[in-house]
């Protein structure tokens, strides 16, 4: 099984790059599944139904979320009706949508961390334990750990080692070079990175971000609107019998 996980898609530059690149990536890499984090897809925060449809039409199989999942209220019904879109599993009870998606032989679990995050969430470690206890064991399982703290992401990797195929971090938009196979066959990477404008600050307009840092005044941050774009992600190969990972490779490409 060959799976590509794409980091946070940021704004129109990232979204359009993914829509253009995924069909070729599926063919070039011989992919069985593509999973992408879409929580910054629409205007830099959140996701709207039309943009989700574009990603699915391009060949993305499952879209994961994060702390901006509920930015656009018109997306709430879509979360309820579309089984291939997730929001973090450990949102408090009553949040629209689901934290687990199933696609063929693939299960995707979406989690959100608690360290340095802007809201309070339920415990992701206990939430994923409860979910795994109810899920079939003969599937490939991918966990998107949407978190700020690298230590929290690494802890989740070790917590799930041997129980899932891949634990990959999202949220910081900066790709890490620590991809590896853990002791018991789980592939791990602290952050997949982003799909967005190369000349930006984590996908946002450079001048807007500099203004905020230099003046400390409230400044509206908007996604950078000019290319080229970068496509950051990880490619994982897994054994079809054991469902354990056998390799993990960074995929970092530039798209004009």
Residues annotated catalytic, as ranges? 68
Task: Please give the structure tokens belonging to residue 59.
Answer: 């060949």
C-alpha to C-alpha distance for 31 and 84, rounded to whole angstroms: 17
Element (H, E) at 208: helix 206-215
DSSP reduced 3-state for 19 = helix
C-alpha to C-alpha distance for 236 and 3, rounded to whole angstroms: 5
C-alpha to C-alpha distance for 115 and 145, rounded to whole angstroms: 12
Pairing of strands 8-9, 2-6: unpaired
C-alpha to C-alpha distance for 153 and 218, rounded to whole angstroms: 30
C-alpha to C-alpha distance for 87 and 110, rounded to whole angstroms: 6
C-alpha to C-alpha distance for 74 and 35, rounded to whole angstroms: 23
Query: Residue 158, preceding bond cis, omega within 30 degrees?
Result: no
∠55-10-110 over CA atoms, to 5°? 70
């Amino acid at each position: 099984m060959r799976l590509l996980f794409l980091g946070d898609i940021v704004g129109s530059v990232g979204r359009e790059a993914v829509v253009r690149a995924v069909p070729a990536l599926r063919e070039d890499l011989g992919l069985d599944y593509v999973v992408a984090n879409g929580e910054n897809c629409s205007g830099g925060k959140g996701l709207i139904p039309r943009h989700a449809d574009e990603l699915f039409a391009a060949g993305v199989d499952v879209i994961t979320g994060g702390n901006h999942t509920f930015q656009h209220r018109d997306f709430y019904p879509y979360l309820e009706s579309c089984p291939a879109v997730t929001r973090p599993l450990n949102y408090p009870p009553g949040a629209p949508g689901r934290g687990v998606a199933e696609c063929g032989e693939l299960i995707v679990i979406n989690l959100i961390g608690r360290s340095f995050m802007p809201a309070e969430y339920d415990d992701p470690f206990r939430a994923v334990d409860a979910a795994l206890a109810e899920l079939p064991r003969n599937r490939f399982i991918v966990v998107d750990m949407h978190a700020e703290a690298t230590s929290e992401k690494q802890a989740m990797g070790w917590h799930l080692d041997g129980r899932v195929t891949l634990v990959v971090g999202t949220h910081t938009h900066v790709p890490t070079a620590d991809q590896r196979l853990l002791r018991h066959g789980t592939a791990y990477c602290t952050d997949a990175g982003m799909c967005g404008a190369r000349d930006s600050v984590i996908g946002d307009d450079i001048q807007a971000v500099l203004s905020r840092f230099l003046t400390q005044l409230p400044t509206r941050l908007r996604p950078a609107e000019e290319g080229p774009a970068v496509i950051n992600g990880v490619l994982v190969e897994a054994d079809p019998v054991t469902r354990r990972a056998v390799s993990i490779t960074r995929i970092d490409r530039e798209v004009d």
